[in-house]
Amino acid sequence: AHHAKTSQPVAIKLMKHSGKFEPDALAVFSREADLLKHLRHPRIVQAIEFGVAKDGLYLVMEWIDAVDILSELDKKPKNKKERAAAWLGVRTLEALQYSHEQGIVHRDVKPSNILGYIHGKKLQIKLADFGLAKRFADASHTDLTAIGQFRGTLAYTAPEQFSDSKRVGPVSDLYAVGVCVYRVLAGVLPVRANSLQEFAAWIRAGSPIDVQRLNGTASAEMQTFLKRALAPDSNVRFQSAAEMGKALAKFT
């Protein structure tokens, strides 16, 4: 759409509802959306307005003429994969460091929420969908039974988020960044489960990610980085986006 006053191109996101708006839900939506409006960072898609319409709650955001970030990075030759993966991770972590400082955890970091776009003939990214829909959705993952849903969301979900999605903090976002880095390097996701049940079994077992699969694509140093970034125990992982970004910047 275009903003009526400024003619600025915008994207409008609608939130589904069950036919009526609960007062508490409206209050929470307004508070959370107002927080998003004040997230102003070059690596974050800007929220502009929010409100209520007959079709549901809505959020107006800046329009990004996006390109598929994974498709762009998958074109890189094998000897440049490590740098490409680090490039994506560092920029995503810049956005997360800022949002975490504002007290906002994304909770759904994955490539489809990392919007690539061309600016000055160079590829750039902005992180989108800062948890608003997630906070109004069912917190449980038990209804995500389709393999497509599994690959799109659960594969980027930190173990602690899967077992208790209400106990989620910044470190869970950082795990998802680690999965994004792995995906760019390997071309596949690190957890190769074929169903929600298999994924749940992997979570319960506390199994670590096998980073040695990346031999020939990632250096020993990058494998060490990923082993920490994707550790099942959240206490072993990087504890801040700034710390993780500093470690990852060495590969760019």
- Give CA–CA dist 193/85, Å, rounded: 23
- Alpha helices in the chain, H assignment, sequence order: 23-37, 69-74, 81-101, 132-136, 147-152, 159-163, 170-186, 196-205, 220-229, 241-249
Cβ atoms of 97 and 240 closer than 8 Å: yes
Structure token pair of residue 166: 């209400």
For helices 81-101 and 241-249, angle between their N-to-C axes, nearest 10 degrees:
160
Other residues' Cβ atoms within 10 Å of the Cβ of residue 223? 18
Cβ atoms of 201 and 159 closer than 8 Å: no
Q: Look-up: residue for tokens 């960072």?
A: 41
Helix, strand, coil % in the chain, rounded to nearest 5: 45, 15, 40
How far separated are the first and last CA of the chain, in Å rounded?
37
Cβ atoms of 15 and 62 closer than 8 Å: no
Query: Catalytic: 108?
Result: yes
Give the active site residue among 108, 129, 143, 233.
108
Q: Which residues are catalytic?
A: 108
